[in-house]
A and B are shown apart, each in its own frame.
Chain A
Amino acid sequence: QQPVQSPQAVILREGEDAVINCSSSKALYSVHWYRQKHGEAPVFLMILLKGGEQKGHEKISASFNEKKQQSSLYLTASQLSYSGTYFCGTESLLGGANNLFFGTGTRLTVIP
């Protein structure tokens, strides 16, 4: 049930853009995106609830294609503070609870 993310790792120079993809073999109810800096807890970025929905968070935005069971996270004009591991999480309804399965993670490194 674990979604697959690509790429596994990416290195950017400040100001460059990146796209992180998340795909699932199962129908997606919703997609979460979290960022984890080294040695810290994952921090929530955004949730996408509807197919085709796109949301933004500063210069970080995401899209959700329900039909393709995919989500993409877009980072534009990257900053040093964007470095970290990005996780997508997909939800299945198990007992009506929030059962979030996280992807394999994408390590993003932004260099000066």
Chain B
Amino acid sequence: DTAVSQTPKYLVTQMGNDKSIKCEQNLGHDTMYWYKQDSKKFLKIMFSYNNKELIINETVPNRFSPKSPDKAHLNLHINSLELGDSAVYFCASSQDRQPNEKLFFGSGTQLSVL
């Protein structure tokens, strides 16, 4: 069983489209995250949710909207996609919101905007 699973693994789309990436974790964790990894391999946190509640929202355009229907799921919806959104998006989870909790990452979604 995959602990943190994301779908789709690859996403190729045109500029201006709207797309969603889904994430599910079966670890029973309370906290989930979205990270963006650009072409230079920089890993940057985008959002953090704890028990369906938004905790962290780093400087991310409001075209990105996370949604957490329950604590095991954190989906990412992106409106009006731009070329600069092309990156690998990783979902992650941790036991709770306390510091020093290790992160479990999903396998990533490679988004290519043409």
Contact = CB atoms under 8 A, between A and B. Distances in A.
Nearest to B102: A44
Contacts of A2: 42, 44
Interface string B40-74: 01111100101000011000000000000000000
Contact of A98 (B43, B98, B104): B98
A100 interface: yes
B94 interface: yes
A47 B102 contact: yes
Tell which of A34, A47, A93, A98 has the most Cβ of chain B within 10 Å: A98
Contacts of B50: 97
A98 B42 contact: no
B99 interface: yes
Contacts of B44: 2, 101-102
A44 B31 contact: no
Nearest to A43: B105
A29 B99 contact: yes
A95 B103 contact: no
Interface in A33-69: 34, 36, 40-44, 47, 49
A36 to B, nearest CB: 8
Given A85-B41, A104-B42, A98 B107 contact: no
Interface string A4-39: 000000000000000000000000011010101000
B41 A98 contact: no
Contacts of B107: 40-41
Interface of B: 4, 31, 35, 41-45, 48, 50, 55-56, 90, 94, 97-108
10 contacts: A32-B102, A32-B103, A41-B4, A41-B106, A44-B102, A47-B102, A91-B100, A100-B103, A101-B44, A101-B45
Interface of A: 2, 29-30, 32, 34, 36, 40-44, 47, 49, 85, 87, 91, 93-102, 104-105
